[in-house]
Amino acid sequence: MVAKLDELGVHVDWQRVQEITGSSTIGRPHIAQAMMEKDYVASFKEAFDEYLGHGKPAHVEREKMLPAEAVAIIVKAGGLAVLAHPLTVNE
């Protein structure tokens, strides 16, 4: 998203996004906050309505993987894949 914003002339510093995020997982609200700090937008709503929301120019769809792919990655890394809450899984 930061690269897409850069292409649009909205120059958000990746390091600043990481600082805002701290130890959390980086998300669109963190990018929106960095945009607000540099006065590209006045609010979170504007950031999402104009740039970060679904279908907007800087939006990036979340990558998804199949459970089998996740298990393969875990096993390849030497981990043990387990299924939490198996009774909640549909066929």
Q: Is residue 87 part of a domain?
A: no
5 and 30 Cβ atoms separated by less than 8 Å: no
Q: Is residue 15 part of a domain?
A: yes
- 4-13 pLDDT, tens digit per residue, is 999 999 999 9
38 and 9 Cβ atoms separated by less than 8 Å: no
20 and 34 Cβ atoms separated by less than 8 Å: yes
Query: What's the number of domains the chain is made of?
Result: 1
The DSSP element (H or E) to which 68 belongs, if any, is helix 67-76
- 57-89 pLDDT, tens digit per residue, is 999 998 888 888 999 999 999 999 998 888 887
12 and 38 Cβ atoms separated by less than 8 Å: yes
Q: Is residue 59 part of a domain?
A: no
Domain that holds residue 25: 2-52
20 and 33 Cβ atoms separated by less than 8 Å: yes
Q: Is residue 60 part of a domain?
A: no
Q: What's the predicted TM-score (pTM) here?
A: 0.73
